[in-house]
Amino acid sequence: MITLFKNAELFSPFYEGKKDVLVAGKTIIAINDQISAPADLEVEVVDCNGQRLIPGLIDAHVHITGGGGEGGPGSRMPELEVWMMVEAGVTTVVGCLGTDGITRSVDSVLMKVKQLKAKGMSAWMYTGAYQVPPPSITGDFKRDIALIEEVVGLGEIAISDHRSSVPTTSELAKLAAHTRVAGMIGGKAGIVNLHMGDATDPFRPIHEVVENSELNYKQFVPTHCNRNYYIFEDAKEYGKKGYVDITTSSYPYYADEEVKPSTALRQLLESGVPIGHITFTSDACGSLPGFDPVTGKLVKLEMGLPDSILREIKDAVLTEKVPLETALQVASSNPADILKLEGKGYIRKGYDADLVLIDDDFNVLRVMANGKMVK
């Protein structure tokens, strides 16, 4: 299969101007000002005049087998479906377990990753869940990371939250150190994805690990860093040292509690946080619970979707006046670099052909995943 995208306004995610992009099989084989379709080959030509060609988005925190359960069996969320990704312009996901590492298994996450790959999308995963010690596939999370190609790290481990296992500094340091070494052995990122809860001084467990070990801040990706105003204020300083992940799908469900992701991006940049330290993820198919602060009772429950990422990128550009090439990095090149997702996150010669065409209003017009047109 050969496809030629003509006259696209190319963001790779960096602005490249008007370009043609030639795809053969699953790979981008040429990018130039003008490319002519080979006369002796059957080529699908896509006229992109007036449209923007961007990398397929990477959603690096998705409960692909469904999340939730905090409100009993009726509060379990459904699995991620391919159409959810396609409509959102997402071509790559990283799956994880969350609160329920008890009745849901890491094995099922791995099989869901394999299903998504079999359907033409790209997928990786974290082993583990909120709990410490973390559940695993092989009986040892270190072996999962080192031996299973789809496993990029450990997570999401819960800290600073009433649903966490309250890991000590020593326990958290050992998890991070073992994850790092397993990642080195397996050629993986070896990242620990951390669920950040509502406790005050939420980054303190990470600070204590760094202060009392040889590990550094970039060993961790703390997520939900916009979940309330005080964690976000701390994130403005923390993000200068390590990564901060902003959850997009919980807005507008919790507009009175959370910092809107598009606004968070602008404010993080204004605070001096490097753009390469910031990611957007949807938390899709995970539950978005609300608890009574006095009784701890679950009082509301929502579910996120992947399309929240592009929505917040749009608002960052149109409302917060963040340049498009900057805003796109939080869901393309940044997660690809942080998690070492080979061939992903960029529109470059030799990279996988994960491409999305959008119009000026950020509507998703066409989606190519691994060289196959899926929308």
Interstrand relation of 372-373 and 364-369 (parallel, antiparallel or unpaired):
antiparallel
Query: Could you count the other beta carbons within 10 Å of the beta carbon of residue 251?
Result: 24
Cβ-proximal residues to 300 (8 Å cutoff; 6+ apart), any chain: 289, 290
Of 98, 11, 103, whose CA–CA distance to 48 is shortest? 11
Rounded to 10 degrees, the C-alpha dihedral 321/326/331/332 comes to 150
Task: Give me the phi and psi of 316, to 5 degrees please.
Answer: -60, -40
Task: For residue 339, give the 3-state DSSP assignment.
Answer: helix
Two tokens at 181?
Answer: 């070494």
Two tokens at 110?
Answer: 């791995």
Annotated active-site positions, please?
283
Q: How far apart are CA 326 and CA 263, in angstroms?
A: 14
CA 223 to chain centre: 10
